[in-house]
Amino acid sequence: MTELHDLSAVEQLAGLRSGTLSPPELVAHYLARIARLDDRVGAFVEVTAEAADARAAALTGTQPTGALWGLPFADKDLVARAGVPMRSGSRLHRDHVPTTTADQAAVLDEAGGISLGKTSTPEFGLTGYTETQIGPPTRDPWNPANGAGGSSGGAAAAVAAGLLPLAPGSDGGGSIRIPAATVGVVGIKPSRGRVPFASGLDSPGGLPVAGPIARSVADAALLLDVQCAGRPHRFATRAPASGPFLSAATTPSPPARIGVTTVSPWDDADDIRLDADAARAVDIAATLLSDAGHGVDGFRWRPRGYAEMFTTLWRTSAARMALTDAELELVEPITAWLVREGRRLTGSELLQALAAASVFEQETIAAFDPFDAVLTPALALPPQRVGWFDRDDPVRGFSQQVRYAPYSSFVNVAGLPAIVVPVITDASGHPVSVQLIGRPGGEATIVSLAAALEHRAGPMPKPAIWSR
């Protein structure tokens, strides 16, 4: 029997608009699944059942308006919602309750969505795994012995387990794409400047942007459309318009030229080893795209000087947090290390890193320019066991994150759009994903190509928890 969570977000919306589904019915279904199953996943840090029920009741009997009318979602726990605890994955903020609602949440409310609570994130969103001092780790619904990635780990795990139809996330160095690829769902990192309320243009190096996580390319495109349209742009620089992206997900792409590379900018700085299934996923994706009529070619790419520059930018971002020396004794070791190392940087070192980032951006865009999209692995390694990332030795832990996901952060530095989509399964049946990187403002192209991959790869299996 088809359950409500078996329907795509687009199908659920159609049911809501036709009246065959009601907001209270859908909210009750997901709240029941969260109550029954989330102790095995650790996707949520706060469930706001009473507020969600009230919101669903208020929508009942009204005219369906808004692109997400009646559809459940949840806020990442780095996003303020008035009256709801915002812990940011840290015991420093265990009792913090905002009095105002951030645009990231308000935009989805205004589109008619219903928040069910807060999804888990590592401390201040600084790591590519979601294991904190304030709660249980977030686990891969396919294998609860493994972690779900980060920093939008709770959002991705909730979607993969059928606890939400879709979820917003944020991505400063892979924080949407890493967990999405880890648990086998779709994640989109938009171009710098694309999403007005989280454009990246107000941060050092322009790294963090907001984006969607969903089970299908079309569902992710639906949420991206909402995120892009919800607020006016605050900066003169923005990505060129190319939406709506839901249309791109349902419209075949004209013949495109696609470059393929397994080179990462970390190759000269760390021991990057590509897992055999990750390599096979790239080969099969290339074949599927070629069979669809696209030109697919390998190419040489030799990025230079990336590791030192990115590490400086990441430490600088952490150093902006207003933490006292006493508070630094209470945070995770990697947080304290990043903050202290960032505060030791001189103005000259920061300026050199920003200049290097600008050069890297220009050189990467030039190297990728012959192609409409570039295909890479999504991750270098398969999902790792909870506790695999060293939380006591921050230098080793940082290196492990690089080796796990060396294809993510450089896309943020270059300001390009990217999408991860599962295309094969490994021997255990777990989905394995690839990444498509677009030109500046090229979300529509990569969304269309990812939808073609999704179609040609066929339906991915679902974790056992899905049917419970």
Q: Taking a C-beta distance cutoff of 8 angstroms, is the pair 312, 345 a contact?
A: yes
Three-state DSSP state, 297:
strand
212-230 in b/e form (b: 16+ CB < 10 A) is bbbbbbbbbbbbbbbbbeb
C-alpha–C-alpha distance, residues 43 and 36, integer Å: 12
3-state helix, strand, coil in the chain (%, to 5): 45, 15, 45
Count up the domains in the chain and report the number: 1
Which strands sit side by side in the sheet containing 373-377, from one edge to the other? Answer: 166-171, 209-214, 186-189, 418-425, 431-438, 373-377, 257-260, 295-298
Whether 396 maps to a domain, the answer reads yes
According to DSSP, the β-strands at 295-298 and 431-438 are unpaired
This model's pTM is above 0.95: yes
Catalytic: which of 76, 118, 189, 462? 76
What are the structure tokens assigned to 382, written together?
Answer: 């398969």
Q: Tell me whether residue 76 is one of the annotated catalytic residues.
A: yes
Task: Judge whether 1 lies within some domain.
Answer: no
DSSP string, 136-157: PPPEETTEEEEE--SSSHHHHH
- pLDDT tens for the chain, 468 residues long, are 799 999 999 999 999 999 999 999 999 999 999 999 999 999 999 999 999 999 999 999 899 999 999 999 999 999 999 999 999 999 999 999 999 999 999 999 999 999 999 999 999 999 999 999 999 999 999 999 999 999 999 999 999 999 999 999 999 999 999 999 999 999 999 999 999 999 999 998 999 999 999 999 999 999 999 999 999 999 988 888 888 999 999 998 899 999 999 999 999 999 999 999 999 999 999 999 999 999 999 999 999 999 999 999 999 999 999 999 999 999 999 999 999 999 999 999 999 999 999 999 999 999 999 999 999 999 999 999 999 999 999 999 999 999 999 999 999 999 999 999 999 999 999 999 999 999 999 999 999 999 999 999 999 999 999 999
Residue 385 per-residue DSSP state: B
* 167 lies in some domain: yes
Residue 40 burial (10 A CB sphere; 0-12, 13-18, 19+) = middle
Strand runs (DSSP E) across 267-326, as ranges? Answer: 295-298
For the question of residue 151 being annotated catalytic, the response is yes
Strands (E), 153-294: 166-171, 186-189, 209-214, 257-260
Asked if residue 110 is part of any domain, the answer here is yes
Rounded distance between C-alpha atoms, residue 431 and residue 322, angstroms: 40
CATH number of the domain encompassing residue 152 = 3.90.1300.10
Instruction: Give the β-pairing of 44-47 and 114-119.
Output: antiparallel
Catalytic residue among 90, 115, 120, 175: 175
4 inside domain: no
Q: Is residue 2 part of a domain?
A: no
For 114, the token pair is 């219903």
90, 151, 264, 317: the active-site residue:
151
Query: In this structure, what are the phi and psi dihedrals at residue 69, rounded to the nearest 5 degrees?
Result: -50, 115
Predicted confidence at residue 326, as pLDDT, reads: 96
Quick check: 198 and 172 in contact, CB under 8 A? no
Distance CA 206, CA 320 (A): 14
Residue 165: give the domain boundaries. Answer: 13-467
Identify the CA nearest to 458 among candidates 413, 424, 415, 434: 424
Check if 462 is active-site. no
Classify residue 29: in a domain, yes or no.
yes
Specify whether the backbone of 4 is left (phi greater than 0), alpha (psi in -120 to 50) or beta: alpha
